[in-house]
Chains A and B, each alone.
Chain A
Amino acid sequence: MTGPYATAIIVVALVLAAWTTVLLVLNRRPGVALLVGAGVLELMLVGFLVGGVVQMVTTHHVMPRAVFVGYLLAALIIPPAGFVWGLGERSRSGTAVLAVAFLIMPIMVIRVQQVWAGGHAGRP
């Protein structure tokens, strides 16, 4: 799976997670800038899905394809879902939900890479 692009997603997600954590500590609410940042992440995830599916259908590489697409789709869903639920309550807890949504992204990307590498998500 495309290494530098996946790494870029992880970096952006971690930056957003750190940013959200700072807001959390300062007890401030997320503003438009964070929303824009999340939009950038989401666009990158769309690219990840499209690129991943294109690579998948153009290769004979053996891997659990349904799982692969499942993780790509789940990664795409989590940030918007986190925003809807998190911003549903304009409080510190709502901000914490956003932090969770961003923190989970590196795990999702690594899972995608693990599935591509042929291993399945769980332990043997």
Chain B
Amino acid sequence: MPDAPDSPAATRPRSTSHGFGRVLVAVYGLFALSATARAVVQIATKFHVAPVAYLLSAFSGVVYIVATIALARDTPRARQVAGVAITVELVGVVAVGLASQLHPSWFPDAAVWTGFGSGYGFVPLVLPVVGLWWLRHTRAPSVGGGGPTSAPS
């Protein structure tokens, strides 16, 4: 287990890798595996066919790996890293999704994020939204902050 911070329990964020987070990490892990494996094969065997799509596949693979590990580790630092990675993921899937609609010629072959993740049942579009919600849901209650999120039950 990662080392827990010495903060009082009341202001400590809830674990990102337990409860629903367990399932979320598993799904992130699946995407880390599939996006990375796909990119490695594509770049190794036919990079010239669609270099932009394949580099984006590799980039998305790295983002998924970082998000998976960061969500699975329960440190404040990992939480920050997860927040950045998942935000990049959301921006990436929307930007690549738009680009692949507006300029299909840039993407002669599909990547994980082309068509907003349509090749993966649009899960890549939903996943970062769920991920950001989960980070928000599990964060520490803000001190004197009147946040609407209730305490864990």
Contact = CB atoms under 8 A, between A and B. Distances in A.
Interface of A: 64, 66-67, 70, 74, 77-78, 81-82, 85-86, 88-89, 91, 93-94, 96-97, 100-101, 104, 120-124
Contacts of B44: 66
Contacts of B34: 74
A70 B37 contact: yes
Contact of A121 (B19, B29, B38): B38
A21 to B, nearest CB: 13
B53 to A, nearest CB: 8
Q: Which of B23, B25, B33 has the most CB atoms of chain A within a 10 A radius of its CB?
A: B23
A93 B110 contact: no
29 contacts: A64-B45, A66-B41, A66-B44, A70-B38, A70-B41, A77-B33, A81-B29, A82-B26, A85-B25, A85-B29, A86-B22, A88-B22, A91-B22, A93-B18, A93-B19, A93-B20, A93-B21, A94-B22, A96-B22, A97-B22, A97-B23, A100-B23, A104-B30, A121-B119, A122-B110, A123-B115, A123-B118, A123-B119, A124-B110
Contacts of B29: 81, 85
A104 B29 CA distance: 12
Q: What is the interface of chain A mostly: helix, strand, loop, or mixed? A: helix
A95 B82 CA distance: 24
A124 B119 CA distance: 10
Given A89-B18, A91-B18, A121-B38, 5 more contacts: A64-B45, A93-B18, A97-B22, A121-B119, A123-B119
B22 A89 contact: yes
B89 to A, nearest CB: 18
Q: Which of B38, B114, B119 has the most CB atoms of chain A within a 10 A radius of its CB?
A: B38
